[in-house]
Amino acid sequence: MVGRFSRMVVAMTIRMPRWFVGWVSRRYVAGSDLKDAVKVMHRLSKEDACFTIDVLGEEITTMDEATFFLEEYKRVITAISKNNFDANLSIKPTAFGLLLDSEKGMENIESLVSMANDHDMFVRLDMEDHRVTDDTIQVMLDMHEKGLTNVGVVLQARLFRTLDDIKNIAEKLGPNADYRICKGIYLEPDEISHTQRKPIIEATNSCIDAMLDAGAYVGIASHDHPVINHSLKALEQRKMGPNIDDPRENAGPKREQKGPGYEFQMLLGVRGPLRRKLSAKGHRTRVYIPYGEKWYEYSIRRLKENPTIGTQVAKAFLMPWTNRP
């Protein structure tokens, strides 16, 4: 019944005027400009959160757009350094021109990763749909071959291939492997992915176990209690936890601005109380901060791909005093 109500709210919301979608999305999107993201980071820094910043926008149509994203992310690096934020970057390779001009796209990505490296900053390659899974992983491997090890990748647990990807990346990068594991927001065909909640949850938990056992750094990006609870038990079994040096023999040295082999990651505006609870127990928690002119497209996609947000939309509208991210 709740699921049906939530989907109904989402269906109504995406048909509402742009201003209404903007009102809903202000919980989940920092704003349209970098200064909006800076404001949010100042506020959440008081809660001991760290951040990953995403300039909204993905697949582009011209290389001029790729230049925009490169320059905007350079502004982000400058802002992070100026304000001394505990933050890194999330980028979509297609936004840098990877599908339009692979050589120039790689040059753009290398330029940004190199600048981030100079500022002791990490870059996360967001994973898009299955068309670019191989390309995205290869970008990360190529950066590491160039000595730029401040870059990691997102893997989507719903894809059947992901456990093999974890194994292959671990064999090539060893303790330098650094993942964000999430369920996956792209609704992939059932020939290549899990499509039901329970199998997706089980696949996510299996991926977390495989990453931890490989000695990798693991960004656990989930708001699902079954995944969080499994992760906490998995960490305890491996004697990992807050304020404990990573005990895994196959793990690398402690990374700058990283936790002891793992961290929990959540979207801005989603399950803030859970994030604060984990943080209060000493776990490193990272908030995904999206901003940019493409806020509307991002918001509509989030609503369509996660209909359970509908209950949160209704709650924010009917009880705005509870709308604390």
With b meaning 16 or more CB within 10 Å and e meaning fewer, what string describes 51-85?
A: bbbbbbbbbbeeeebbebbbebbeebbebbeeeeb
**Residue 133 confidence (pLDDT):** 93
Alpha helices in the chain (DSSP H): 2-13, 18-25, 34-45, 63-83, 102-118, 133-145, 162-173, 197-213, 225-237, 272-280, 295-305, 309-318
Alpha carbon distance 95, 60 (integer Å): 6
CATH 3.60.15.10 fits 30-291, yes or no: no
pLDDT at 85: 96
96 backbone dihedrals φ, ψ, rounded to 5° = -100, 5
Cα 77 to Cα 74: distance, rounded to the nearest angstrom: 5
pLDDT at 25: 63
Residue 286 falls in which region: left (phi positive, over 0), alpha (psi -120 to 50) or beta: beta
Nearest to 154 by CA among 120, 99, 204, 201: 204
Look at the pTM and tell me if it is higher than 0.85. Answer: yes
Nearest to 227 by CA among 128, 157, 161: 157
Which sequence spans correspond to the domains of the chain?
30-291
Mean pLDDT for back-to-back runs of 10 residues, the chain (325 residues): 53 57 69 93 93 86 94 97 97 93 96 97 92 94 97 96 97 94 84 91 97 97 95 98 94 85 92 92 96 70 56 48 48
Q: How far apart are CA 249 and CA 269, in angstroms?
A: 36
Q: Which residues pair with 178 in a beta bridge?
A: 217
Q: How far apart are CA 244 and CA 24, in angstroms?
A: 39
